[in-house]
Amino acid sequence: MNAHTVRVTLAGPAGALECALDAPAGEPVGMALICHPHPVHGGTMDNKVVQTLARACLQLGWRSVRFNYRGAGASQGSWDEGRGEVDDALAVIAQQRRAGEPWLLAGFSFGAYVASQAAARLADDAKPQRLVLVGPSTQKQQMAPVPADTVVIHGESDEVVPLAATLAWARPQMLPVIVFPGVGHFFHGQLALLKNVVVQQLQRPKI
C-alpha cells in the first residue's frame, strides 16, 4: 500500500498465506483485518477498495492487516468455494490478533461475506468490536446475520451486486445501509468519499 507496508507469510489451513501489514504513526489502538473480493474474478488484498478501507483504519490508529486467500497472489492452495477462504481469515485472525487487543473486521464484496461468516464463527468473547461491509455479496453468497452497529455501505448503481439484494438481506435485521447515489460496485471516483464515510462511522460509539 505504501513504502512502509510489510509483507509477511503466515501459516494457513491450505498452505502459506501472503499478508500485508501497515502500522499507524503512533501506538495502535487495535487490529483491523480487511478481506478482499472474489479471487476467481481477480480480487486480491491490493484491490483499491480494500486499500481504502485499510487507510481509513490507519487514520483512526488501527494497524491494518490484509491477506490473500488460498490460491490468490502468492498464497498457496486453491479456491475452495468460500469455505476455505473463511478458514483462511480465521487463521490470520488467530495469528495476528494480540491477546486482549481490540479489533475490527472489514470486507469488500465477497470479502464482506468472508468477514460476516468469520465473525459468526468466533466465540462471543473473541468477536470483533465492529464490522465494516462494503458492497457485500448478498446475492450469490450466504451472508451471516451481523450486529446492529455493523457499517454497511452499498452503491446505488452496483452492477455486480444489486442494491435490492443487500436491502433484502438487511431488512429482516433492521440493519441500516448507507447508499452512495449513482455509484457502482468498485466505487470508481468515490474512494476518497468512501474512506471519509468509513472514518466517520467508526468514530461513532457502539449502539
Tell me the per-residue pLDDT of 35-49, one tens digit each, with 9 for 90 and over.
Answer: 999 999 999 999 999
Going by pLDDT thresholds of 50, 70 and 90, the confidence category of residue 206 is low
Q: What is the dihedral of CA 22, 193, 130, 49, to 10 degrees?
A: -50
Q: Over the stretch 137-190, which tens digit does the pLDDT of each residue have? A: 999 999 999 999 999 999 999 999 999 999 999 999 999 999 999 999 999 999
pLDDT at 205: 67
Q: What is the pLDDT of residue 6?
A: 97
- The full set of domain ranges for the chain reads 6-203
pTM: 0.97
The pLDDT of residue 3 is 77
Confidence band, pLDDT 50/70/90 cuts, at residue 23: very high
Farthest-apart Cα atoms in the chain, separation: 44
Contacts of 172 (CB under 8 A, 6+ apart): none
Give residue 204's pLDDT: 76
Nearest to 112 by CA among 135, 140, 94, 85: 135
At 1 the pLDDT is 72
What is the domain class of 6-203 according to CATH? alpha beta
* H-helix or E-strand spanning residue 152: strand 151-155
User: Which grid cell is 195?
Assistant: 474512506
